[in-house]
Amino acid sequence: MSFALSLLLASAPFSAQDLPAPEPSCNALRPALPVGFEGWSTRVALEAGAATRHAPVLAVGRAAELRLVPLDRLAPAAPPTRDLGTGTNAGVALFQVTRPGTYRIALGGPAWIEVVRGGRPLPATAQGHGPACSGIRKIVDYRLAPGRYVLQLTGAATNTLPVLIAPAPEGAA
C-alpha cells in the first residue's frame, strides 16, 4: 500500500467497522434511492449532542454521520417512549423546518427515532425501510409545521449512525 493511500485511510472520519457490512448480493448493485435521499452516500461527520444545548444542527436534505454517546450520558429532550436496554448509544441533533409538510428521517442502522418539540415526542405518520442494498435501514415520516425540532436517537448498537432528513415528495404520506 502506498504511503499516500495509508495517510488517506488513516484520516478517514469514521472507520469501516462502524458501517454495516453490505450483503454479498449487493456488491455489484447501485440501487435507486428514494426522492430526496440522493445525497445519502455523501455524509458530513458530526458529533451528536448528549443534550440539546450541545446538539449540532442538521441541514434538511444533507446526510450526516452522527457520532453518538452512550445512552447513560444522554439528557433526553423528552423521555424515550421505548425501553432501550443497557449498553446502547444515543444522541440529539437539531433541525429547522421552513415549509409545512411531511418530512422523512432515514437511518443507516437500527435505532429508535423521536422528533421532539416543546419537550414532547411527536407521532410518526408512516414508517418503512429503504430500498434493498441502499444502506438505508429505516425511514420514518413526520408531519411538521415550520419551526425548530430536536431529533432524538436512542437504542443504537453502533457508535455512529448515518442520518438524513428530507421533505417527502409531493403526494407522499
Give tens-digit pLDDT for 103-137.
999 999 999 999 999 999 999 999 999 888 888 99
Please check whether residue 155 lies inside any domain of the structure: yes
DSSP state letter for 49: B
Please check whether residue 148 lies inside any domain of the structure: yes
The mean per-residue pLDDT over the stretch 35-53 comes to 94
Regarding predicted confidence, which is higher, 41 or 23?
A: 41
pLDDT at 173 exceeding the cut of 60 = no
Q: What is the CATH number of the domain that holds 159?
A: 2.60.120.380
Specify which of 8-17, 18-27, 65-74 reaches the highest per-range mean pLDDT.
65-74
Instruction: Show the domain range for 59.
Output: 45-167
Q: How many domains does one find in the chain?
A: 1
How much is the pTM? 0.82
The mean per-residue pLDDT over the stretch 16-31 comes to 59
Please check whether residue 54 lies inside any domain of the structure: yes
Please check whether residue 22 lies inside any domain of the structure: no
Q: Give the per-residue SS3 of 88-124.
A: CEEEEEEEEECCCEEEEEEECCCCEEEEEECCEECCC
pLDDT at 83 exceeding the cut of 80 = no
Please check whether residue 24 lies inside any domain of the structure: no
Q: Which residue has the cell 433541525?
A: 95
DSSP state letter for 7: H
Please check whether residue 16 lies inside any domain of the structure: no
Please check whether residue 76 lies inside any domain of the structure: yes
> At a CB cut-off of 8 Å and minimum separation 6, what does 64 contact?
43, 44, 45, 46, 56, 58, 93, 162, 163, 164
Neighbours of 9 (CB within 10 A): 11
Please check whether residue 8 lies inside any domain of the structure: no
